[in-house]
Amino acid sequence: MWKKFAREYLMFTRWERNGLIILLVAILLIIFFPQVAILFYREKAPDFTPFKNQIDSFEKKVLAEESKEQYNSSRETALEPDRKPAFKNEKSANAVFFFFDPNTLSAENFKKLGLDNRVIGTILKYRSKGGKFFRKEDLKKIYGLSNEVYESLSPYIQIPNRNRTADITPGANKVFTSEIKSVKTFTKTTLLDLNTADSLQLDLLPGIGSVLSSRIIKYRNRIGGFYSSAQLLEVYGLLPETFEEIKGRIMVDTSIVEKININTATLDMLKKHPYFKYPVANTIVSYRQEHGAFTSLEQLKNVDAVSDDLYYKIIPYIEL
């Protein structure tokens, strides 16, 4: 019986055996092929080079845009006031406030109000040339006097009412009338100092209206004072023809030009000046960090970003 069963169910023909062998081989391949294939196949590491190149390109573009924005910002702020506080310490408890007339107050009493010598000197020089303060707001036109300082002093300013035509003094560079803007007369012998002139005085120059006079003062505050009258051509909107017309009536007192210490100035301090801008200021600071403090102003010529033209342009504004 068992022989018959084995013969009927367990006996295979030659074709059946071959088929069974092929089936078993296929099953084994399916089971073991993945493990064997791992031994011979090494997955390549992903290549991120194109992605890194894109990142580097994007970063360079961002840095270029930032430099451009800083450069444009420097140009746009070239006409904005950047006055230093006139107080040695604006919150100093040593300042004593009292009622005063800026037309008659002495230098000693100005010091008691907390003003520094630079601003006091400008006020006294303005008065010595015939300048008068007719309203308390006129004090705001003094070069170097910040709005914050003026607001502190304003409640104490007392100027007696007076007739402007009665206050003309010898050497004054303008003639006052009841309508000051209707008269534009200068004495032939008096030159207007661009570093101390207020907007009213500048307004009286031929071709200089209220807009240009305001721009001139703003630019003067930004660069720290003029060292040459030709710098007026750097003021936006002032035409060469206008400069030619007024250059015989103006002068500059270079003794009050504000200087920057090239060895102690920070990057932020330098880049605020229109002549330095960010790229030049950054290169100067980097050179100083690498080579140490400058021992002479001539060393600035070794800085890559400082051309000969730029060197002679900035030299009046720097010191060691």
Distance in angstroms (rounded) separating the CA atoms of residues 173 and 250: 11
Q: 143 pLDDT band (50/70/90 cuts)?
A: confident
Please indicate, yes or no, whether residues 272 and 306 belong to a single structural domain of this protein.
yes
The structure's pTM equals: 0.43
pLDDT tens, position by position, 52-61? 777 777 766 7
Distance of alpha carbon 157 from alpha carbon 167, whole angstroms:
19
Check whether 70 has a pLDDT greater than 60.
no
| CATH code, domain carrying 183 | 1.10.150.310
Residue 295 lies in a domain: yes
Domain annotation covers residue 41: no
Q: What is the DSSP letter of 164?
A: G
Q: Is 217 domain-assigned? A: yes
Domain closes at, from 210, 237, 255: 255
Q: What is the per-residue DSSP string for 54-105? A: HHHHHHHHHHHHHHHHHHHHHHHGGGS--PPPSBSSTT-TT-----B-TTT-
The C-alpha angle 209, 215, 220, rounded to 5 degrees, equals 125
For 204-247, the DSSP string reads TSTT--HHHHHHHHHHHHHHTS-SSGGGGGGSTT--HHHHHHHG
Alpha-carbon span 211 to 214, nearest angstrom:
5
> What's the whole-number average pLDDT of the chain?
76
Instruction: Tell which residue, 217, 203, 255, 194, has the closest CA to residue 82.
Output: 217
Structure tokens at 256: 């009050």
80 lies in a domain? no
> Of 137, 162, 187, which residue constitutes the final position of a domain?
162
pLDDT at residue number 256: 85
Q: Tell me if 318 sits within 8 A of 297, measured CB to CB.
A: yes
CA dist 294 → 16, 283, 320 (Å): 99, 14, 7
Q: Does residue 270 fall inside a structural domain?
A: yes
Residue 249 near residue 192 (C-beta atoms within 8 A): yes
**What's the rounded mean pLDDT across residues 1-20?**
68
One domain, residues 148 and 184: no
Q: Which residues contact 272 (CB under 8 A, 6 or more apart)?
A: 74, 77, 82, 222
Residues 278 and 227 in one domain: no
**Structural domain boundaries enclosing 275:** 260-319
pLDDT at 214 over 60: yes
Q: Are residues 129 and 191 in the same domain?
A: no
User: Is 132 found in the same domain as 114?
Assistant: yes
Q: What is the pLDDT of residues 230-266, one digit of tens each?
A: 899 989 888 889 899 888 888 888 888 888 898 888 8
Q: Confidence class of residue 188 from pLDDT cuts 50, 70 and 90?
A: very low
Task: Please report whether residue 53 resides in a domain.
Answer: no
Residue 63 lies in a domain: no
Token pair of 137 as six digits: 């707001």
- 39 domain residue, yes or no: no
Q: Which helix (H) or strand (E) holds 193?
A: strand 192-193
- Please state the domain count of the chain: 3
Tally Cβ neighbours within 10 Å of residue 66: 11
